[in-house]
Amino acid sequence: MLYSVKFERLIQMEYVYAALMLHSAGKEINESAVKKVVEAAGTAPDEVRIKALVAALEGVDISKVLSQAAAVAPAAAAAPAAAAAPAAAKAPAKEEAKEEKKEEAEESGIEGLGALFG
């Protein structure tokens, strides 16, 4: 059962990849364009998923979301290193609270695209 859920999510990724390819090429992300990219990849397009993707991306600034995701990745990679540091090297509580608020703000921008993955 778990395998089929992971496989199902993997299949959905091709639609997101199609949208990202269109975005990077400077093309409009619409149903017909996504369908053409999915077909060019050798996959039978699912009209319902394409419509859901296009609707979910309407009004989303993909460049901004990608830049926020790029900013979150280094912070996530640094987290294990920070956990290994001695307790004496930890920042004061005020700075930690600021970091948490900043991370929450960054994550909220990514949540919109997270809905596309199930």
Cα–Cα distance list, 71 to 43, 65, 75, 102, 106 (Å): 32, 10, 7, 11, 8
More confident residue, 10 or 52: 52
- For residue 53, is pLDDT > 70? yes
Give the end of a domain, one of 59, 80, 101. 59
At 59-90, the pLDDT tens digits run 999 999 888 887 776 655 655 655 555 544 45
d(CA 45, CA 7): 16
Looking at the chain, the whole-number percentage of residues with pLDDT higher than 70 is 52
The reply to whether 72 and 24 lie within a common domain is no
The reply to whether 45 and 91 lie within a common domain is no
Residues in the chain: 118
Confidence of residue 20 (pLDDT cuts 50, 70, 90): very high
What is the number of structural domains in the chain?
Answer: 2
**pTM score:** 0.55
The reply to whether 69 and 115 lie within a common domain is yes
